[in-house]
Amino acid sequence: MKVLGIESSCDETGVALVEVLGAGVPRLLGEALHSQVRMHEAYGGVVPELASRDHVRRVLPLAEAALSEAGLALADIDLVAFTRGPGLAGALLVGAGVACGLAAALNRPTLGVHHLEGHLLSPFLSADPPEFPFVALLVSGGHTQLMRVNGVGRYELLGETIDDAAGEAFDKSAKLLGLGYPGGPALARLAETGRPDAFELPRPLLHQPHLDFSFAGLKTAVMTAVKKLGPHPTDIQRADLAASTQAAIVEVLVRKSLRALEQAGLERLVVAGGVGANTVLRASLNAACARRGVRVHYPELRLCTDNGAMIALAAAMRCQAGLATSRRDHRFDVRPRWDLADAGWG
């Protein structure tokens, strides 16, 4: 079965083709991606209306590019999948509308996919795919969650952020440091030359036994530190503050992930979502997990941030698992807010 996946929940338009044969490992046949980062840069963040309009412009040429990479024609597609939520309503509607229009023209079924399920399953396209069950650390711009994943569609929420997401903490701190959008990679770059212990920043909820996160206090502490540095901080001071901020976020994510593994009695960890691209997070998790005999799985670096491959993959794996939620009437809705733990959708 060949699945076309369309991602348009935020500022990336992604289209990809994934194939599954029986119970075999899913294979990525072709993919194309356009990032709107340059367009939103001038505004310091994503402008939803601009995002929607750009998705409209990009999605069909990207579909053609993905098909051509795969050496396939539209008629070869068996199922059209799209991101149903969560995300920006207008942006989601573009992907959903195009997916359902295409499916109607081809007389194929459609399947609306949960964006976080896409992130969560994305390591299954890597050279070292995980086995169920595992603990997943989902760290993106809008979400920070620890889940126990028992199988496709069987997700148990273990803990989540009570305020800002980890990606948001990166983005907001980066803004305070005068860095551009998206802040995560920019802050990580600045941090490369800084000392992670130069500033004493809070590790909120670190010593609580539960698995929830809180990053809003960290942002306030970074704001206070920036004010103390005055209007003309040196490059060294900025790099030190960036490195200290990154260290605080990473320490909380690593410690809570280990606690989740312990509490769940599992020895496999999957890290997914944009912040999963962070090299310091990867290095710290690898070291901490190696000490405990825990295996860590990541998606390929380019599949950490939003893309169409993870949407096609999640749809393919849902079909493989017999979770038949595809529909043939070509009607659709989007769910800008949608809980993954509430994944028993129809």
Q: Which residues bind ligand KG4 (CB under 6 A)?
A: 10, 140-142, 167, 170-171, 182-185, 188, 273-275, 277-278, 305-306
User: What is the closest distance, in whole angstroms, from the C-beta atom of residue 139 to ligand KG4 in the complex?
Assistant: 7
Can residue 307 be called a binding residue for Zn ion (CB under 5 A)?
no
Report the half-sphere exposure of 214 (CA within 13 A, side-chain side): 13
CB nearer to ligand KG4: pick between 92 and 319: 92
Can residue 83 be called a binding residue for Zn ion (CB under 5 A)?
no
Can residue 306 be called a binding residue for Zn ion (CB under 5 A)?
yes
Query: Which residues 138-157 are close enough to bind Zn ion by CB under 5 A?
Result: 140
Residue 170 binding result from ligand KG4, Zn ion, none, given CB thresholds of 5 to 8 Å by partner type: ligand KG4
Return the closest-CA partner of residue 311 out of 125, 168, 155.
Answer: 125
CB nearer to Zn ion: pick between 139 and 319: 139
User: What is the closest distance, in whole angstroms, from the C-beta atom of residue 217 to ligand KG4 in the complex?
Assistant: 18
User: What is the closest distance, in whole angstroms, from the C-beta atom of residue 249 to ligand KG4 in the complex?
Assistant: 8
User: What is the closest distance, in whole angstroms, from the C-beta atom of residue 97 to ligand KG4 in the complex?
Assistant: 20
Strand, coil or helix: 268 = strand
Can residue 110 be called a binding residue for Zn ion (CB under 5 A)?
no
Q: Which two tokens stand for residue 284?
A: 């710290």
User: What is the closest distance, in whole angstroms, from the C-beta atom of residue 330 to ligand KG4 in the complex?
Assistant: 26
Cβ-based neighbours of 275, under 8 Å, separated by 6 or more: 139, 140, 166, 167, 170, 184, 249, 253, 281
Distance between CA atoms of residues 113 and 96, nearest Å: 10
The residue assigned the tokens 């889940």 is: 147
Hey, CA dihedral for 274, 279, 282, 288, is it positive or negative? negative
Q: Starting from the edge strand earliest in sequence, which strands make up the sheet with 154-160, in order?
A: 154-160, 144-151, 134-139, 268-272, 295-297
User: What is the closest distance, in whole angstroms, from the C-beta atom of residue 241 to ligand KG4 in the complex?
Assistant: 15
CB nearer to ligand KG4: pick between 221 and 242: 242
Strand, coil or helix: 53 = helix
Can residue 8 be called a binding residue for Zn ion (CB under 5 A)?
no
Return the closest-CA partner of residue 83 out of 60, 69, 67, 99.
Answer: 99
- DSSP string computed for 152-178: TTEEEEEEEBSS--HHHHHHHHHHHTT
Residue 97 binding result from ligand KG4, Zn ion, none, given CB thresholds of 5 to 8 Å by partner type: none
CB nearer to Zn ion: pick between 147 and 243: 147
Residue 142 binding result from Zn ion, ligand KG4, none, given CB thresholds of 5 to 8 Å by partner type: ligand KG4
Give the interface with Zn ion as residue ranges (CB under 5 A).
140, 306
